Structure 1
Amino acid sequence: MRASSLARCPATARTGARRGRGPALPSRALRDGDAHAAYVRDAANARAPPELASVLRVLEAQGMTLVEPRARRGIHPLVVPLAVDPVEGVTIGLYVKGEEDCASVVRVAGEGRHLELLGRNASEYVHRAIVEEEWRSDETETVVAAAAGAVGVSLHNHGAFKTSGKEFDVYVTTQIGKFPSSMEGLVRRHLKRDDVQSALITCDLYKSTFGEWGSSHAFVADLYNDLGRGEEARDAARNALQTPWATVGGDKTIKRMLDLAGWSGKTVTEIKEVLETRRGPNAAAFDGPKSEKQLAREEAELLLDQVAAGEIESATVNQRLAECYMKAGNSTLAKFVMCGSGSPA
Structure 2
Amino acid sequence: MRPTVSRVAFASGLLAPRAVGASLVTTRCTSSSAASPSIAAASATYDHASFVKEIAATDPPEHLHSLLNLLQARGEMLVSPGAKRGLIPLVVPLSESPAGNLTSLLRWPTAPSGMEMPVVEVRNHGLWLMAKNVNQYIHRMLVEADISGYGDDVWSAVGDAGENFYTKGDFKESQMADVDAYLLKKVGLFPDVIERKTSLHLEKGDHVSALITGEFYTRDHFPGFGRPFMFNSEVLRRVGRTTEAKDSARVALKSPWWTLGCRYEVWSLLL
Quickly name the TM-score band, shorter chain normalised: 0.7 to 0.9
Residue type of the alignment partner of 1:181: D
Task: List gaps (5 residues or longer) in structure 1.
Answer: 1-5, 11-17, 26-33, 263-345
Specify the structure having the higher radius of gyration (Cα): 1
Structure 1 contact 95–103 (Cα < 8 Å) conserved: yes
Q: Which amino acid aligns with 1:228?
A: G
Instruction: Tell me whether 1:143 sits opposite 2:130 in the alignment.
Output: no
Q: Describe the SS at the equivalent of 1:97.
A: coil
Q: Is the 8 A contact 1:47 1:102 kept in 2?
A: no
Partner of 1:90: 101
Matched with 1:168 is 179
Matching residue within 229, 233, 241 for 1:221: 233
Distance 1:23 1:43, change over 3 A: closer
* Higher mean C-alpha deviation, range 231-240 or range 93-102: 93-102
The two structures, once aligned, show a CA RMSD in angstroms of: 2.6
Listed one character per residue, the Cα deviations across residues 8-67 of structure 1 (whole Å, up to 9, x for unaligned) are: 369xxxxxxx97558967xxxxxxxx8111111111210011010111111111111001
Partner of 1:306 in structure 2?
Answer: none
Count of aligned pairs = 235
1:1-345 superposed matches below 5 A: 8=6, 20=40, 35-85=47-97, 87-98=98-109, 99=111, 103-110=117-124, 114-135=126-147, 137=148, 139=149, 141-166=151-176, 167-208=178-219, 209-210=221-222, 212-251=224-263, 254-260=264-270, 262=271
Question: Which runs of at least 4 in structure 1 moved beyond 4 Å after TM superposition?
Answer: 18-25
State the shift of 1:162 in Å.
2.2
**Counterpart residue type for residue 247 of structure 2:** D
User: Aligned equivalents of 2:78 and 2:150: distance in 1?
Assistant: 26
Structure 2 contact 7–57 (Cα < 8 Å) conserved: no
Q: Tell me the secondary structure at the aligned position of residue 142 of structure 1.
A: helix
Partner residue in 2 for 1:325: none
Distance in 1 (CA, whole Å) between partners of 2:239 and 2:190 is: 24
Cα deviation for residue 190 of structure 1 reads 2.7
Separation in 1, partners of 2:51, 2:249:
37
CA–CA distance in structure 1, aligned partners of residues 244 and 42 of structure 2: 53
Report the alpha carbon displacement of residue 249 of structure 1 after superposing the two structures with TM: 1.4
CA displacement at 1:107 relative to structure 2: 0.6
Please state how far the C-alpha of 1:193 moved relative to its aligned partner: 3.7
- State the identity as a percent: 33
Residue 28 of structure 2 corresponds to none
Q: Give distance in 2, aligned partners of 1:192 and 1:250.
A: 22
Greater RCO between the two (CA within 8 Å, min separation 6)? Answer: 2
Per-residue deviation, 1:81: 0.7
- Hey, what's the Cα distance between the residues in 2 that align with 1:256 and 1:78? 24
CA contact (8 A) 1:187 1:203 kept: yes
Structure 2: runs of 5 or more not aligned: 9-37
Q: How far does the alpha carbon of each residue in 1:210-235 deviate from its partner, in whole angstroms, 9 at most, with x for none?
A: 25311111111111111122111111
- Kindly state the Cα deviation for residue 207 of structure 1 after the two structures are TM-superposed: 0.6
CA distance in structure 2 between the aligned counterparts of 1:187 and 1:23, rounded to whole angstroms: 42
| Rounded Cα–Cα distance in structure 2 between residues aligned with 1:259 and 1:51 | 43
Return the alpha-carbon distance in structure 2 between the equivalents of residues 227 and 20 of structure 1: 48
Instruction: Give the Cα separation in 2 of the matches to 1:234 and 1:219.
Output: 12
1:256 deviates by 3.3
Distance 1:189 1:20 in 2: 44
- Between 159-168 and 114-123, report the one with greater CA deviation: 159-168
Indicate the residue corresponding to 2:20 in structure 1.
none
Return the alpha-carbon distance in structure 1 between the equivalents of residues 56 and 229 of structure 2.
29
Residue 161 (structure 1) shift: 1.2
Matching residue's letter, 1:55 = L
Equivalent position SS for 1:183: helix
Instruction: Check conservation: 1:130, 1:152, Cα contact below 8 A.
Output: yes
Superposition deviation, residue 176 in structure 1? 0.3
| Higher percent of residues as helix | 1
**TM-score (norm. length: structure 1):** 0.62
